[in-house]
Amino acid sequence: MGNYRRQAQFFFSTLVVSTTTALESCPISHTTPAATTIIMPQFRAVKRVMLKPHKHWVGDAFNVYPVFADLAFKEAMSPLLMFDYAEPKDFGSKLGQPRGVGAHPHRGFETVTIAFQGEVEHRDNKGNKGLIGPGDVQWMTAGRGIVHEEYHSPHFTKNGGTFEMCQLWVNLPKKHKMTKPRYQAILDEQIPNVKLPLGAPEEEQLATVRLIAGEMADNRGKAKTFSPVQMWDVILPKAGAEVEIPYPADHNCIVFVRRGGVEIMSGEEGKGKTSKLGPQDVALMHLDGSDIIKVRVDRPGTSILIMGGEPLNEPIAAQGPFVMNSHDEIRKAMNDYRAGKF
């Protein structure tokens, strides 16, 4: 899906490739040089803030913000590639064909769709079919090739209502790009909820982390991935709360504000630079060795997504619905699709 309508115009013509003091000597025999100490910041710092972009339509069902903007398909976001978010929008009832995106191919990556409100239906040429509603996730591995379509569900189409969702593209490591396609339907009740601070009594809890993919403490997300990926839906109900969120120090990290607002606090004791984020703003965090993200909640009922993973450090070649490692692999994907090999 995401960006498909716009990218399809360039399907067979545009190719984007990203490759990504000396110590003084001392005559006293028992004196030894001081050890070098590397000090890591206590809280991870923000590298770049990207403000809410302009929206565009994908098909006639998904009015989305291209959240990663000019950093989409860049190594800085690895292993993530692209992120579209459709804010809450009311759709009237409709007879006939549901709104959506018709059959289209993918190769070399995974699509992850999270439904917040409304319903999305998926069908593909491998026989997979699924419907997800509020809180559910579908995780589709395109691998060596798949053709799928995404629509509002028949029930949502007939009755109308509020629709809110997002879709991320997750890159596959080179060794897994031609893996067999796979579909994972992850229901809301299957997603672990982790309370923060870890181990705090109920009255002192400040956040709930819905662990879609990745790990936190002894909890593991339901999604099966081909490289370490973190995808967390974080609910922050209390304005003014300062929340420390543990996060793998060697993983890229992106913070997206779905609703409400936060300030990201960096440095020792959170006394460094602060970065303020509002709805649909996104922060790319530094890989600075810190394993804690600290946020101050600006508004009650705030919701953010924290996502990223272990950088793949591999070339990225992207054209339309295909993401591979080279020009030649993109051309082969096009030829294979034309030849009906998906």
Could you read off the pLDDT of 267-314 as tens digits, one per residue?
Answer: 766 567 899 999 999 999 999 999 999 999 999 999 999 999 999 999
How far, in Å, CA of 307 to CA of 212, rounded? 10
pLDDT at 56: 93
Percent of all residues in the chain with a pLDDT value above 90, rounded to a whole number = 84
Could you read off the pLDDT of 121-159 as tens digits, one per residue?
Answer: 999 999 999 999 999 999 999 999 999 999 999 999 999
pLDDT at 269: 60
How far, in Å, CA of 46 to CA of 38, rounded? 20
What are the respective helix, strand and coil percentages of the chain, to the nearest 5?
10, 45, 45
Q: Which residue has the tokens 């804010």?
A: 87
pLDDT at 260: 98
Instruction: Calculate the alpha carbon distances from 239 to 140, 260, 300 in Å.
Output: 36, 9, 5
Contact 57, 2 (CB under 8 A): no
| Per-residue tokens: 100 | 């959506």
Could you read off the pLDDT of 198-247 as tens digits, one per residue?
Answer: 999 999 999 999 999 999 999 999 999 999 999 999 999 999 999 999 99
Task: Please tell me whether the peptide bond between 79 and the residue prior to it is cis, using omega within 30 degrees of 0.
Answer: yes
Superfamily assignment of 41-338 in CATH? Jelly Rolls (2.60.120.10)
Task: Please tell me whether the peptide bond between 197 and the residue prior to it is cis, using omega within 30 degrees of 0.
Answer: yes
| Per-residue tokens: 249 | 């120090």
Q: Which of 17-26, 29-38, 143-152, 206-215 has the lowest mean pLDDT?
A: 17-26
How far, in Å, CA of 56 to CA of 313, rounded? 30
Flag whether pLDDT at 18 surpasses 50: no
Flag whether pLDDT at 168 surpasses 80: yes
Instruction: Calculate the alpha carbon distances from 178 to 42, 44, 60, 205, 249 in Å.
Output: 40, 35, 31, 43, 30
Arithmetic mean of pLDDT over the chain? 89
